[in-house]
Amino acid sequence: MSLRHAILVLLQDQEASGYDLAREFANSIGLVWNATHQQIYLELGKLNEKDMVKFRHIPQDGKPDKKMYRITEEGRDELIRWLRKPAAPPRIRDAFMVKIAGGALSDPSSILRELEDQADLRRERLTTFEDLARKLDDRNGDKDMYTYLTLRRGILDQQAWLNWAEEVRSELRRREDLTTSV
Amino acid sequence: MSLRHAILVLLQDQEASGYDLAREFANSIGLVWNATHQQIYLELGKLNEKDMVKFRHIPQDGKPDKKMYRITEEGRDELIRWLRKPAAPPRIRDAFMVKIAGGALSDPSSILRELEDQADLRRERLTTFEDLARKLDDRNGDKDMYTYLTLRRGILDQQAWLNWAEEVRSELRRREDLTTSV
DNA sequence: TATTGCAGCGCAATCCGTTGAATAAGTAGT
DNA sequence: ACTACTTATTCAACGGATTGCGCTGCAATA
């Protein structure tokens, strides 16, 4: 239940609209916490009711009005309270891995096909993370260090995944060799 | 929404009770898909209504009766249909990482403390996965290969995490040196 | 001119998931 | 004798999340 806290973390640095936050969830924080715009707008409403954020109306011409949210004292208190207590380990729910575990039902070629699709995705992520990390390489402020470490987490994760994919390929090839040589 | 399919994968090999499945979710498949027993019982109920599984009553003396579930033709069809269509990439929701991203608010020492707790957990998982993988090292059947690959995924994942933790430690130390030398 | 996309917000229905508890009887340990 | 754990299933309540839909209006593109 910490979409809430992810939002508060983002609002710490700057005032932002729901839309802004949704974009950041699609990029930076999305690395560690996913959320859609509906969820975000809903949560902002709740946070507002609890006085953890407040907003000002910004009328815009042409575009619809927007609400620029900022964190309040109560919000910051809540965030700090949350930071203090230990986080539950993330629960894992990886559909693709379920497929692998039940792989004996599929044929190897279709597994390999999907593996490559997933690998493309990971490679893409890897390069974007690496680019972002390179820009932060002269990390000075505390804040930069923590975003750098967050990115490093993403990078190591993608690399581990890609290494695993390599193992899958060679195992499946090994198996093919065994069966065709019979 | 593929708790369903994870269950079907497990039922493929053997008839099992909800309780059995819950245990397997706590171990083997839990590596890639987490679920509690309540969820499993509920899902078994739904699967039964849709005729994707059926069960027989086993009265037991001493222990309460159990329901042994097995997969049906419809269940197998559904599973195969699902295996064919591409899996959505898993959504990431890692509370601890949210803390890191907002780390500038905490003090480094409390971050390090929690890091070590999480690292303990990962190390523990790593050794259990490695033990299981060693037992499968003469992997022959297709099925064994896929469980082996699943385990490898878990192993590489834990290792990547622990390597990252090492980076966090040295970064935080570096930072401490900088600030204390001022 | 029609379509697509972006910026910006929201509601409603439903589904999924979590928490917490209840029941029931055996077994193992202090 | 008391406690705690294991086997085995189920229910109720709540809150979180997802899916699908709706609105406005500008800018760009085909």
Residues 66-125 of A with CB under 7 A from strand C: 66-67, 91, 93
CB contact under 8 A, B102 and A5: yes
With CB atoms and an 8 Å threshold, state whether B86 touches A148: no
The answer as to whether A152 is a domain residue is yes
**Per-chain mean pLDDT for chain A:** 88
Does residue B136 share a domain with residue B76?
no
Determine phi and psi for A61, rounding to 5 degrees.
Answer: -90, 140
Distance from CA of B168 to the nearest CA of A (A): 7
Whether residue B150 is found in the same domain as residue B131? yes
Question: Which of B84, B115, B132 lies at the terminal end of a domain, its last residue?
Answer: B84
Provide the residue range defining the domain that includes A118.
95-180
- Which residues have C-beta within 8 Å of that of residue B101, sequence separation ≥ 6? A6, A9, A28, A29, A32, A146, A147, A150
Residue A62, Ramachandran bin (φ over 0: left; ψ between -120 and 50: alpha; else beta): left
Residues A172, A108 share a domain: yes
- B113 touches A: beta carbon within 8 Å: no
CATH code, domain carrying B31? 1.10.10.10
Residue B160 included in any domain: yes
Burial of A130 (C-beta count, 10 Å sphere; 0-12/13-18/19+): middle
Q: Looking at residue A64, what is its pLDDT? A: 66
**3-class SS at A173?**
helix
**Is residue B90 in some structural domain?**
no
Q: Are residues A104 and A171 in the same domain?
A: yes
Q: Which residue is nearest to nucleotide C27 (CA to C1')?
A: B62
On whether both A103 and A174 belong to a single domain, the answer is yes
Q: Determine whether the interchain pair B97/A31 forms a contact, defined as Cβ–Cβ distance below 8 Å.
A: yes
Is A61 among the domain residues?
Answer: yes
In sequence order, what are the residues at sequence separation of 6 or more whose Cβ sits closer than 8 angstroms to the Cβ of residue B61?
none
Cα-trace Rg, chain B: 22
Residues B100, B175 within the same domain = yes
- Summarised one tens digit per residue, pLDDT across range A52-79 is 999 988 876 656 678 899 999 999 999 9
User: Best of A3, A10, A116, A146 to disrupt the B interface by mutation (most B CBs within 10 Å)?
Assistant: A146
Flag whether A118 is in a domain.
Answer: yes
Measured between CB atoms, does B54 come within 8 Å of chain A?
no
Task: Name the domain boundary from B84, B111, B129.
Answer: B84
Nearest by CB to B171, from A5, A149, A164: name it.
A149
Residue B16 is assigned to a structural domain of this protein: yes
Boundary of a domain, candidates B17, B52, B84: B84
Does residue A176 sit in the same domain as residue A151? Answer: yes
Query: Do B102 and B173 have their domain in common?
Result: yes
The answer to whether residues B106 and B128 belong to one domain is yes
Q: Is the CB of A15 under 7 A from strand C?
A: no
Nearest CA in chain A to B167: A149
B103 and B169 housed in the same domain: yes
Q: Are B79 and A105 in contact, with CB atoms under 8 Å apart?
A: yes
Number of domains comprising chain B: 2
Task: State whether A43 and A119 are in the same domain.
Answer: no
Q: Give residue A159's pLDDT.
A: 98
Chain B contacts in chain A segment 8-47 (CB below 8 A): 8-9, 12, 28-34
**A142-146, A147-151, A155-159, B146-150: segment of lowest average pLDDT:** A142-146
Query: Nearest-CA neighbor of B55 among B80, B72, B76, B73?
Result: B72
Distance B25 CA to C29 C1' (A): 28
- Best mutation target, A10, A93, A151, to test chain B (most B CBs within 10 A): A93
Task: Report d(CA B16, CA B10) in Å as an integer.
Answer: 8
Q: Is B170 helix (H, G, I), strand (E, B) or coil?
A: helix
Looking across all nucleic acid strands, the nucleotide with the smallest C1' to CA distance from residue A42 is C10
Q: Are A44 and A53 in contact (CB under 8 A)?
A: yes
Give the per-residue pLDDT at B61. 66
Query: From the first residue on, what is the mean pLDDT of each consecutive set of 10 residues in chain B (182 residues)?
Result: 91 93 87 92 93 89 82 94 89 93 87 93 91 79 85 96 97 79 63
Determine, yes or no, domain membership for A89. no
Identify the CA nearest to A160 among candidates B164, B87, B102: B164
B112 and B162, same domain (yes or no):
yes
φ, ψ (nearest 5 deg) of residue A33 = -150, 120
Contact (CB, 8 A) for B123 and A89: no
Is B132 part of any domain?
Answer: yes
For residue A147, give Cα distances in angstroms to A141, A159, B97, B103. 10, 18, 10, 9
